[in-house]
Amino acid sequence: MTPLLDVKGIAKRYGRHIGCADVSFDLWPGEVMGIVGESGSGKSTLLNCLAGHLAPDAGEVWFDTRVDGPKDTLKMGEPERRMLSRTDWAFVHQHARDGLRMGVSAGGNVGERLMAVGARNYGTIRHQAIDWLGRVEISEERVDDRPTTFSGGMQQRLQIARNLVTGPRLVFMDEPTGGLDVSVQARLLDLLRGLVRDMGLSAIVVTHDLAVVRLLADRLMVMKDGQVVETGLTDQVLDDPQHGYTQLLVSSVLQV
Amino acid sequence: MTDQAYNFAYLDEQTKRMIRRAILKGLAIPGYQVPFASREMPMPYGWGTGGVQVSAATLTPEDTLKVIDQGADDTTNAVSIRKFFERTAGVATTTSTRAASLIQTRHRIPEEDLTEDQILVYQVPIPEPLRFLEPRETETRKMHSLEEYGLMHVKLYEDISRHGHIATSYAYPVRVEGRYVMDPSPIPKFDNPKMEMPAIQLFGAGREQRIYAVPPYTEVVSLDFEDHPFDPSKAPHACGLCGAEDSYLDEVITDDEGGRMFVCSDTDYCECRRAAGHCGPQFPEAAA
Ligand SMILES: [Zn+2]
């Protein structure tokens, strides 16, 4: 079996400061990888390097493409990488407004990726948009409303629908529940878990919130100062942490 | 008489060469927006300084110039641009579409079919068709270079979801020769099908410093959806003056009692038809 994503030796520096250093891992089809750590641990830098938003100084990111099999996405031309990022990849931002077009209706937001890959039938696009709004528990009646009229939780669910409508095989999530009220977080997590299971999604979830990875992630990577200090199955890492830093994280001694 | 204080057509030769290079590049890459160093012109932006610079770089002393604004030769804007070139280039001017070798226009394409011997210069306020949804210039440039045009259809989708049909009736986006998506300037969509024509079409945006072009006989397709096809609709009336049923009409108020009628927006077209004996319902007496 081929890993969906094969990450080799990713490193990124900001001058003398280390963003992340020599990170390698595999992600298997249908697997959810959680990356946890405090702010400044390098987890967001790593995610942005993997998703093509930042150019790492070293390393390779091999993705098992539908047509050509594994390809190093860092060596792809920009057209191919951008095509990937709106078809087989998805990116859920912490702040929904970074991932939505606030001046476009909910239906237009969900339909954009379909139109970007050539959908040219209004009725079909709208039908799919409404279907996806339903899957993220947004009423069909809101299809023509702009996200500015939505609550924070609804905006985040809309962002998820907009990302998943093209059936991506790999989803990057950056603090997907960050900034939301606790009760809203719980509902969003349940929804995400259901979607990940139903669609057999592979995902990389960066968060400081251990409750998020407990619920979503099959495996965990713990980062500190740009380094991966511990990896393993989620339950194993959280219930029996080996590294001293992980033990502090899990015991909630650290305010993360 | 040409005002000798100016070079022919106001701009110096070096500037004209620079603009001509931009025009030639535009013709070589139909629909592509070529940046150019727009010059200050002795008229405000919004008065068509982009179109004026393109015309100035294109005119020769042998040319006959026509200038229209919303189809009319006699608006302030059209008159002042025509006078500007009479004064700075000394070229012959005309209101006749057929007699003109270069036509500068704002918001219309003449009704009369243009020929291979003619050049149509458009005044363009906002050249970037993707601007309304993507304000970042770096991003829109990338979208053009990678042919990422899904966003154009998002705009049309929004139109339909809000109005039940594609309500965009001016500056209706087109795809040129299967490649670049282009803003045809704020002409009515009624004019879009005419853009596949024998004449050269040049577009100048002064404030935004862009020139683009459509060479003769180039494919120009108006964007649409399969289930909402492009419709270059016009008002279901005949011209009240000349009876034309195939021209783009303006609604004009005719008296203080709210009387109104539809007349050709292309004044030369309307006058030529009336001179040839055509008459509309508002002027039955002329039929005699
Ligand atoms: Zn008429």
Cross-chain Cβ contact A105/B161 below 8 Å: yes
Q: Quote the pLDDT of residue B284.
A: 56
Task: Determine the average pLDDT of the residues in A43-62.
Answer: 96
Give the residue carrying structure tokens 């068709």.
Answer: B129
Residues sharing a CB contact under 8 Å with residue A2, sequence separation 6 or more, in sequence order = A64, A69, A70
pLDDT more than 90, % of chain B = 84
Q: What is the pLDDT of residues B173-186, one digit of tens each?
A: 999 999 999 999 99
Task: Determine the average pLDDT of the residues in B234-259.
Answer: 90
Task: Determine the average pLDDT of the residues in B25-54.
Answer: 93
Q: With 80 as the cut, is the pLDDT of residue A131 above it?
A: yes
Cross-chain Cβ contact A116/B146 below 8 Å: no
Q: How far is the centre of ligand 1, averaged over its atoms, from the C-alpha of B203 (Å)?
A: 27
Task: Determine the average pLDDT of the residues in A58-65.
Answer: 97
Q: Which of residues 215-244 of B touch A (CB under 8 A)?
A: 225-228
Q: Would you say A102 and A159 are in contact if contact means Cβ atoms under 8 Å apart?
A: no
Indicate the residue of A79, A82, A125 with minimum beta-carbon distance to B157. A125
Q: Quote the pLDDT of residue B47.
A: 82
Q: What is the pLDDT of residues B64-85, one digit of tens each?
A: 999 999 999 999 999 999 999 9
Indicate the residue of B142, B146, B225 with minimum beta-carbon distance to A122. B225
ipTM: 0.91
Asked about B279 being catalytic, the answer comes back as no
Global confidence as pTM: 0.90
Query: H helices within chain A, ranges in order?
Result: 43-50, 78-85, 96-99, 106-116, 122-135, 152-164, 182-199, 210-216, 234-239, 244-250
pLDDT more than 90, % of chain A = 89
Q: What is the pLDDT of residues A198-234, one digit of tens each?
A: 999 999 999 999 999 999 999 999 999 999 999 999 9
Backbone angles phi, psi at A26, to 5 degrees: -110, 150
Given B48, B71, B243, B270, which residue is catalytic? B270
pLDDT band at B288 (very low <50, low <70, confident <90, very high): very low
Gap from A31 CA to chain B (nearest CA, Å): 31
Q: How far is the centre of ligand 1, averaged over its atoms, from the C-alpha of B240 (Å)?
A: 7
Q: How far is the centre of ligand 1, averaged over its atoms, from the C-alpha of B281 (Å)?
A: 11
Q: How far is the centre of ligand 1, averaged over its atoms, from the C-alpha of B270 (Å)?
A: 4
Q: Quote the pLDDT of residue B45.
A: 74
Given B48, B239, B243, B280, which residue is catalytic? B239
Cross-chain Cβ contact B154/A112 below 8 Å: yes
Nearest to B270, CA basis, from B234, B246, B237:
B246
Indicate the residue of A82, A108, A117 with minimum beta-carbon distance to B157. A108
Q: Quote the pLDDT of residue B287.
A: 42
Asked about B264 being catalytic, the answer comes back as yes
Which residues of A fall below an 8 Å CB-CB distance to B? 78-79, 82, 101, 103-105, 107-108, 111-113, 115-117, 120-123, 125-126, 143-144
Task: Determine the average pLDDT of the residues in A232-242.
Answer: 95
Task: Determine the average pLDDT of the residues in A11-39.
Answer: 95
Give the residue carrying structure tokens 């719980």.
Answer: A186
Q: How far is the centre of ligand 1, averaged over its atoms, from the C-alpha of B278 (Å)?
A: 9
Rounded Cα distance between B241 and B262, Å, is 8
Q: With 80 as the cut, is the pLDDT of residue B128 above it?
A: yes
Q: Quote the pLDDT of residue A254.
A: 54
